[in-house]
Structure 1
């Protein structure tokens, strides 16, 4: 009978500890590595076996897979569509549960393309953006998804910001023209650019969860999607709009050089009309707008705006339930991340890019304060990102006139 893994391990341990051993040391080390791998594989197989034995299907389900509330069926063909699904489907969570929920582990979910992998022996380089590549916009109702979204490979972001002022005298930066044979060709401009260097910012928060809830995939999905991921998304939307660029991400509104529009003194234009005039300001800047972001109270005023006989001026959102809100050809994002009385019109994908170093990463641990003795775990969610506002003139800030 061949020796067991335990016997082989003991023999190699004895030979490694023998200072007088005169055999092939390289071959001995190789045997040690092989046996270590076999033991680890056996331990993993045992853990999977115990986890499988602990799982029970409902009597009426036959061979169908059990589906937890809030969890999409996993047939091996459908990728996880949220951080919560990625987390509850992960082998790391299965291993954590099988080993008594001790220590800490993490699972990362990305909704942007994955970046390259770096190691401790290869220093991280600043991620320098090679240029501005506008794309046709997609219109989910989140401020973050109005922007072009890309993945950064470094912790520092460098990009060029167009700081060219408006062309005076009714002129244009575009000097393209037909020229006679042999004549000098015109140069377009003027253009000025600043090199902007900034860092990617980490946004994170955590919530406590009981050990019993950690065994329930439905509750985990609820905690991760309903509290953690939503909190990160809302914070990102707010910072994209108003972040100070130092202790926070770079927001669009604080950037010098964006267009502004405010009705003049004594002007009582409605908010509906004000947005249309701000769109003209944006078009004259030669960066066509695609969306408008405003506070829910301001959007309410627009939707409830009526004419002299009490008929609603904006009717599409009223008659088309579930339709994407639009006004003057612009997609509307109504969010409390925007201050009341202010709005932002812009060509969002033309003007800014959201760079993400790290997608939503979910961590779970029992190593926090006295939570171990209280049978309580911690779930933490975090992401690293920042915004490159490379074309400020692609945006117009609106300040609505005060109502009489």
Structure 2
């Protein structure tokens, strides 16, 4: 039996007598450390040195792990949330807007979820639901919420804004989206025509003159950002229910703004309304010729070619649901659908000839809009979707009724009309 295996005292009493460990009791890490250290320092130790060194490494690693765990615990207990950030309440993850996705990850907040989780709503409820407050939310991957009477300066958000997978793709989601710092919007609209008419680039021999491209022509467009808004009444009792609040905001207010924004992007008159793409001078047009029997599926494909010949490759097409229905139900001679092979597949992409398809009743039946949306237009936003709640409206105060108002400020800059093609499905007569 080695010296390491013998029962040795773990200390001594005041009178000098040794203290032995309790029979069957496991020594602590410190006791093991001290015992191993004593044996390592003992020149007369005749046990297995390799085993002793291995035990030393194991105990040292265990002590280091215990120290790290203690440090993390102390740091966690001393951590605090920033001022104004509400502390989570018991069971909060089960409240509306708090649920993670199927993989346990937090999802980007919707407008309604940002409103429900805002400090402003908590304060409003704590004050007996008196006065007025607002919460602004921008549809970005990491939603930004600002509260107060005047919203803070927005953050520049380039690129396409990702859509919530539970909601259909919107026309606004096809455009490049930027943030405006003021209320007046000025931009240059290219009226030069197709690139094929002004692009004079050519191979030039050494020493020869280089060709000049052109002519170019631009119009300076000056407009203002437009406000889209609407409101609904809600009882004080419903204002205490997070689920009902989210239903009002998502189901009525936000959807209403999104629908109106899509209509403005397509058909706004550009004066009292936003600038619509279809009402912008200079966009391309395509209509089947006289006597043509082309079905809508073929018409879209030929319009795509026209867009490509203008050197602005199309990326998407916007259709009325009735026209999209005709395209999806188009069958070949064997009764098979041409567009989709499996009608029961919910994950089937909504695409046609490589183009993203957006269906909306904002597009008139019998027509469609095809184009390079990000190339041709930009949606400028001064203010994201802002939700306001107040008890100060007409006689609603005495009726225990509140008002929820939703608004946004934006406009569309159609800077390259040649990137779009308006399709008319009926053959010319």
Aligned partners of 1:311 and 1:329: how far apart in 2? Answer: 20
> Which residue matches 1:176?
201
Instruction: From the superposition, tell whether residues 136 and 142 of structure 1 become closer, same or farther in structure 2 (CA, over 3 Å).
Output: closer
Higher relative contact order (CA 8 A, sep 6+): 1
Instruction: From the superposition, tell whether residues 114 and 296 of structure 1 become closer, same or farther in structure 2 (CA, over 3 Å).
Output: closer
Aligned partners of 1:343 and 1:241: how far apart in 2? Answer: 10
TM-score, normalised with respect to structure 2: 0.70
Partner secondary structure for residue 244 of structure 1: coil
What displacement does 1:166 show? 4.2
Instruction: From the superposition, tell whether residues 296 and 317 of structure 1 become closer, same or farther in structure 2 (CA, over 3 Å).
Output: farther
Residues 231 and 405 in structure 2, CA contact (< 8 A), matched pair in contact too: yes
Q: 2:185 aligns with which of 157, 173, 182?
A: 157
**TM alignment of 1:362-401, pairs within 5 A:** 362-401=387-426
> Which residue matches 1:318?
343
Residues 190 and 217 in structure 2, CA contact (< 8 A), matched pair in contact too: yes
> Which residue matches 1:222?
247
Instruction: From the superposition, tell whether residues 376 and 284 of structure 1 become closer, same or farther in structure 2 (CA, over 3 Å).
Output: same
Q: 1:106 aligns with which of 113, 134, 146?
A: 134
What displacement does 1:403 show? 12
What displacement does 1:267 show? 1.1
Answer with 1 or 2: which has the greater Rg: 2
Residues 150 and 354 in structure 1, CA contact (< 8 A), matched pair in contact too: yes
Aligned partners of 2:334 and 2:100: how far apart in 1? Answer: 53
Aligned partners of 1:114 and 1:219: how far apart in 2? Answer: 21
Deviation track 1:3-27 (CA, whole Å, cap 9, x = no partner) reads xxxxxxxxxxxxxxxxxxxxxxxxx
What displacement does 1:331 show? 0.7
> Which residue matches 2:68?
none
Partner secondary structure for residue 149 of structure 1: strand
Q: Name stretches of at least 5 consecutive residues in structure 2 with no aligned partner.
A: 1-83, 147-152
What displacement does 1:304 show? 0.6
Deviation track 1:158-178 (CA, whole Å, cap 9, x = no partner) reads 1110001347xxx54222222
Residues 363 and 381 in structure 1, CA contact (< 8 A), matched pair in contact too: yes
Q: Name stretches of at least 5 consecutive residues in structure 1 with no aligned partner.
A: 1-47, 58-62, 118-123, 125-133
Residues 282 and 395 in structure 1, CA contact (< 8 A), matched pair in contact too: yes
What displacement does 1:191 show? 1.6
Aligned partners of 1:328 and 1:78: how far apart in 2? Answer: 35
Aligned partners of 1:364 and 1:207: how far apart in 2? Answer: 10
TM-score, normalised with respect to structure 1: 0.75
Instruction: From the superposition, tell whether residues 70 and 218 of structure 1 become closer, same or farther in structure 2 (CA, over 3 Å).
Output: farther
Residues 376 and 420 in structure 2, CA contact (< 8 A), matched pair in contact too: yes
Partner secondary structure for residue 318 of structure 1: coil
Deviation track 1:45-99 (CA, whole Å, cap 9, x = no partner) reads xxx9xx99xx9x8xxxxx543522454369xx95752111111111111111001
Partner secondary structure for residue 121 of structure 2: helix
Count of residue pairs brought into register by the alignment: 327
Partner secondary structure for residue 283 of structure 1: helix
> Which residue matches 1:94?
122
Aligned partners of 1:135 and 1:188: how far apart in 2? Answer: 30
What is the root-mean-square deviation of aligned Cα atoms in Å?
3.0
> Which residue matches 2:12?
none
Aligned partners of 1:179 and 1:281: how far apart in 2? Answer: 30
Residues 159 and 177 in structure 2, CA contact (< 8 A), matched pair in contact too: no
Aligned partners of 2:299 and 2:284: how far apart in 1? Answer: 14
